[in-house]
Amino acid sequence: MNLERELGPLLKNGIKKDEPMSRHTSWRIGGPADYLVCPVDIEEIARVVRYSHLHGIPLLVCGNGSNLLVLDGGIRGLVMKIGSPFHYIRCEEGNRIRAGSGTPMPDLARAAVRKGLAGLEFAGGIPGTLGGALIMNAGAYGGNIGSLVQSVTVVDFQGRVLELARKEIEFGYRCSSLSSAGVVAEALLQLEKGDPARSEALLEHYLQERRRKHPQLPSCGSVFRNLPDQPAGRLIEAAGGKGLRVGGAQVSEQHANFIVNTGGATAKDVLALIRKVQQLVKKKFNIELHPEVKIVGVEN
């Protein structure tokens, strides 16, 4: 079996071999993927999924690599990156927006505001693309993407294109059943007619709050899941975790639930720092913190 010879000619962008995942994650960390493909349409997604399923090749799907820690040994198998061909936004009747899974959440929020539609303002500062946001039911400031979903188009793990209605999808806190449904291609969102001036002001307010609180160095966003009654960042700060460092990885001085890459950080550094933070909070409060970030790949 030779992916470059057999699958490569079937894809417009071909296949990249031994591609450093540090180029494809917001942390700028990660060893090489055996193979990386960037499909240009839903037919190519289906082609890749069917090929990987037929040959038993592990398949990892990613967007812009936020909320993802790729270990230093890289990823065995095939990585499929859902990128710019799936960055589109179309308005439909009934205050609805159809968007591709590669659409950055800030672009989606701004497009809704420009069209006079309300409900997505909370998403203006969320890192990542719509596909990842749907899978983890991303949210902020009391809103979440799952509450707006009318339907989601996926390619299941046999390569079939399916449209899932809202009632067929389960959304929870930072999770959804879409993670086991297949590869997300696009979604139809139900919004409300709004006041453009009010929506713009609300969006800018949320963006300013994020700029004030969130670090600018490379990170994955929030590392740990919040507790029902307590933000993880507050616990870490109260336990004395701000500024804690291992190698090039550091708990942000701005927001304690962020680990930043200060330069040259490795996944090994980040994992060690995650464990240190967990031990600190456990010792101080007898509370177990659980990572929200998805950890993939193999260690060196």
Question: pLDDT tens for residues 77-124?
Answer: 999 999 999 999 999 999 999 999 999 999 999 999 999 999 999 999
211 an active-site residue? Answer: no
Contact 271, 45 (CB under 8 A): no
CATH, domain 215-296, list 3.40.47.10, 3.40.50.300, 2.40.128.110, 3.90.78.10: 3.90.78.10
Nearest to 18 by CA among 3, 36, 6: 36
* 126-154 tens-digit pLDDT: 889 999 999 999 998 889 999 999 999 99
How many angstroms separate the CA atoms of 141 and 292, rounded?
A: 18
Tell me the two tokens of residue 57. 């090749």
Pairing of strands 143-144, 149-155: unpaired
Confidence category of residue 180, pLDDT binned at 50, 70, 90: very high
Selected catalytic residue, list 96, 166, 174, 225 = 174
Is the domain covering 86-212 a CATH 3.40.50.720 domain? no
Average per-residue pLDDT for the chain = 95
292 an active-site residue? Answer: yes
Tell me the two tokens of residue 202. 């609300």
> For the chain, what are the domain ranges?
3-84, 86-212, 215-296
Q: What is the pLDDT of residue 86?
A: 98
What are φ and ψ of residue 6, in 5° steps? Answer: -90, -45
Selected catalytic residue, list 52, 101, 199, 222 = 222
- For the cut 70, the answer to whether the pLDDT of residue 72 exceeds it is yes
Contact 169, 177 (CB under 8 A): yes
Selected catalytic residue, list 44, 121, 186, 292 = 292
210 an active-site residue? Answer: no
Is the domain covering 3-84 a CATH 3.30.43.10 domain? yes
Confidence category of residue 214, pLDDT binned at 50, 70, 90: confident
How many angstroms separate the CA atoms of 60 and 79, rounded?
A: 5
Q: What is the pLDDT of residue 1?
A: 59
